[in-house]
Structure 1
Amino acid sequence: METRELRYFVAVAEELHFGRAARRLGIAQPPLSRAIDRLERRLGAALLERTSRMVGLTEAGSVLLREARAALDAVEAAERRTRRAALAAAGGGAGVVLVTKAGAAGELLAKLLDAYAAEPGAVTVDLLLCGPGEQERLLRDGRADVALLHRPFDSTTGLDTEELRTEGQVVVLPGGHPLATRTHVRMAEVADLPGLPMPRWPDRDGAYPDGPGPRVRDHTQLLQLVALGRTCWVAPESCRERLTDDLAAVPVVDAPPVTTVIAWPPHSRSRAVAGLVRVATRL
């Protein structure tokens, strides 16, 4: 399979419409249709179900969509990391890019950056802050060299990792809420809180899931909505570091623990990444 064919297929699979996919790719629809037909013949499998009114994915098509996204991410990662290596060889700096979710693991991150900067031979660490769930994608597609991820929310499949910290979770509530004085709550109570539906985050395509909760884009907006009594937030215990006086955090005793890990591609041979990982595990 060619990467061009995979890009064509991903566009059709995500749009579920040949016309929209062709416009997105900047090509005419007939060559796009022919390319998908060739791909299906080569694989010996129907990838799409076509009718006069709709396009859908077959089971084989769903598998290829997942695999094609991973393959294209790997190609982009190879391109980006190769360019960075060439830049470093030309004297443009050999720093390391660390990606983390904005607002997460703040104290741990600060300690890590300070401790690494004091190491002999430390290089510049470029910090890339992103929205929830984006760290993994940025690491896999080569825009970052190393990431702080949080299990079970982020997948670490295929990555090398070291565990740094495991902690419980709390529910963040408006300070005057009746539950704010409790010593603990359970997930069932949090899920049924009247007037405080769970927030909705966008997926990798920017689409929001259905539900009554408010749409949120970042943690600053989220905390403001909690303070206004529009939503609540279940988060790792360490989120207390950035809560203001008008918010309360109550432990959720049956919420799954959250483990912060430092992750990097298994084929990485970067001395800077290795040094950063060593410091993180020591801390």
Structure 2
Amino acid sequence: MSDPWQECLEHCVEVATQAGKVIREALKSDIAVMHKSSQVDLVTETDQRVERLIISSIKAKFPTHSFIGEESVAAGAPSVLTDDPTWIIDPIDGTTNFVHGFPFVCVSIGFTVKKQIEFGVVYSCIEDKMYTARKGKGAFCNGVPIKVSGQEDLSQCLVLTEVCFKKDPHRFDAMMANLRSVLTIPVHGIRSPGSAAVNMCLVASGAADAYYHAGIHCWDMAGGAAVVTEAGGVVTDVSGGPFDLMSRRLIAASSRAVAERLTRHITEFNVGRDDADGS
């Protein structure tokens, strides 16, 4: 039986490549920066331009499919995952990196059917690394198979997360407490590259062993979650329960043992859901 979604995957790689070219060209120019929810929640004209490019290209080829896009949701579109074939798009994952020219910037696209991730594409466009993963068919970087490290001892891990301003003092305190808790396990170290999808691809390729985050969105997670899973890794909720794409929380790890131990060092805090209010 033929793979019904292979054509979608191939088109996804094509449009991600086109989007990456737009992003690289934009880096040569002055970048117009706008703000969303706060002075550190940034959006650029390039974010919006790239999302329009991606969605228009996909709609022309697959007009019956649905979309959840970061900038569309910011403009008021619903963030609701249905059983329909759905493209979940982050046009620039790592906008703050993009604004500063920090080289971890990617286009991230996940594709779901019946609310399950069928494939993911993450194009780290400054590095020119194209990560792809199709359910049951493995994960690749520029066509070369990749695998997680397989590390099972959290004390031997390099851990990724993100540290940023939180308006809610409870969230800020919990974020800082989690850093202290993980560092004093101890682990080999914590790094913050600045892009959720890149973080997951680093775990998938064995360059890091675990990544945890609460407060991100489905468009940050969908593409990278496919890559980690197909690279032999584990993706869970920060509580240790099953991964929920709309929950805004995840752990991506080299092994279930690492994921389970990491959950014991993370204090949970409420971040809402993408399908509740899109915020």
Larger Rg belongs to: 1
Higher helix residue share: 1
Structure-1-length-normalised TM-score: 0.30
TM-score between the two structures when normalised by the length of structure 2:
0.30
